[in-house]
């Protein structure tokens, strides 16, 4: 199954389970990728997080129920997964601008968010330079921060926190990373390593400002092994912030048209010395079946 049908099948599952529990692992399985990649891909393509899309759809359906039936607000709250009528009312008013009770009045203005449909469109006027690299497992050292899915839509805030550290003790992080990174390896520079870890039934997402290194881990840092993989390596001209826009092109243009799909592995942004005016995005991939 190709990219667009996979994404639409995942949305089908979401729509079919809108009144119950939506299992993100099952959504990702249908789309043939990890939870980490699905949530990032969904957010970049639609410019709304997966959780926010589900929230908007449920409240859109709730508005239709209010206008077309005599259902009680308390029953509607339970139907769409809210713990109390008060919580439902707050969410409803935040989205629609009026209370559920007012929504029954003739002439009330309500918002509707239709079901998403993914389509493959013609793009790619601007070239994308990439190469395929095979690498065995390796070690990265650095500092990490937990990332919430909503922050994927505003990665600049993440970069600001990790790159523009104000505290004197932490301001040495980048300097330490430049000191320990292995200059002889293909993956160069300071890295932004994006990865996920399972926490029971949930996935936790992290961003690690790191360097590839076999040297002793500096105090206050930690190390992580990155498994062996095949990597699609993309050149991204300009400062590191340009990678944010490039992620959208990767999901919208390269992935649907390529002969690869994402592997269940971290992704790496390699921030090269400023004089090069070039950075690299490393994405673990596997050949499509």
Give, for all 289 residues of the chain, the pLDDT tens digit.
577 888 999 999 999 999 999 999 999 999 988 888 888 888 888 888 899 999 999 999 999 999 888 899 999 999 999 999 999 999 999 999 999 999 988 788 898 899 998 876 555 557 788 999 999 999 999 988 887 765 555 555 666 655 555 454 455 787 888 888 877 777 778 888 988 887 766 778 888 989 998 889 988 899 999 999 999 999 999 887 788 888 888 888 888 888 888 998 899 999 888 888 899 999 999 988 7
Structure tokens given for 5: 């049908």
CA 212 to chain centre: 23
How much is the pLDDT for 168?
A: 47
In terms of DSSP bridges, do strands 202-212 and 222-226 run parallel, antiparallel, or are they unpaired? unpaired
Taking the C-alpha atoms of residue 126 and residue 114, their distance in angstroms, rounded to an integer, is: 31
| pTM listed for this prediction | 0.77
- DSSP letter at 252? I
Q: What is the rounded CA–CA span in Å between residue 5 and residue 237?
A: 32
Integer Cα distance of 101 and 79 in angstroms:
16
Query: Which sign, positive or negative, has the C-alpha torsion 55, 58, 63, 64?
Result: positive
Please report the DSSP string for 189-220 in residue order: SEEEEEEEEEETTEEEEEEEEEEE--SPPPTT
> What local confidence, expressed as pLDDT, does residue 264 receive?
86
Domains of the chain, first to last: 3-103 (1.10.10.60), 130-287 (3.20.80.10)
Handedness of CA 234, 238, 243, 246 (dihedral sign): negative
pLDDT at residue 159, rounded to an integer:
60
Eight-state DSSP code of residue 274: G
Residue 39 CB partners (closer than 8 Å, separation 6+): 24, 28, 49, 50, 149, 152, 205
Helices 35-46 & 242-249, crossing angle to 10 degrees? 100
Q: Residue 99, by phi and psi: left (phi above 0), alpha (psi -120 to 50) or beta?
A: beta
pLDDT of residue 59: 95
Q: Say which residues have a Cβ less than 8 Å from residue 268's Cβ, sequence separation at least 6.
A: 187, 191, 192, 193, 194, 226, 281, 282
Q: In what helix (H) or strand (E) does residue 147 lie, and over which residues does it extend? A: strand 138-147
């Amino acid at each position: 199954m190709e990219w667009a049908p996979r994404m639409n099948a995942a949305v089908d599952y979401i729509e079919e389970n809108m009144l119950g529990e939506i299992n993100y692992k099952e959504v990702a399985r249908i789309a043939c990728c990890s939870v980490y990649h699905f949530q990032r891909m969904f957010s970049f393509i639609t410019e709304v997080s997966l959780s926010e899309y589900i929230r908007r759809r449920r409240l859109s359906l709730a508005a239709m129920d209010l206008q077309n039936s005599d259902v009680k607000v308390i029953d509607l709250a339970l139907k769409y997964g809210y713990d109390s009528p008060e919580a439902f009312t707050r969410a409803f008013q935040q989205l629609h601008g009026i209370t559920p009770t007012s929504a029954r009045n003739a002439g009330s203005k309500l918002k509707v968010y239709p079901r998403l449909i993914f389509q493959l469109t013609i793009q790619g006027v601007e070239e994308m330079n990439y190469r395929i690299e095979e690498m065995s497992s390796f070690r990265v050292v650095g500092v990490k921060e937990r990332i919430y899915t909503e922050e994927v839509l505003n990665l600049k805030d993440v970069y600001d926190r990790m790159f523009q550290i104000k505290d004197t003790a932490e301001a040495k992080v980048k300097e330490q990373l430049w000191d320990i990174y292995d200059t002889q390896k293909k993956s160069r520079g300071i890295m932004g390593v994006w990865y996920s870890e399972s926490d029971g039934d949930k996935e936790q997402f992290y961003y690690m400002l790191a360097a590839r290194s076999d040297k002793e881990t500096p105090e206050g840092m930690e190390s992580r092994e990155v498994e062996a993989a095949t990597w699609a390596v993309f050149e991204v001209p300009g400062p590191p912030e340009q990678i944010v826009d490039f992620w959208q092109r990767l999901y919208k243009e390269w992935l649907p048209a390529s002969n690869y799909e994402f592997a269940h592995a971290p992704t790496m942004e390699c921030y090269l010395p400023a004089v090069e005016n070039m950075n690299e995005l490393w994405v673990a991939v596997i050949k499509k079946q």
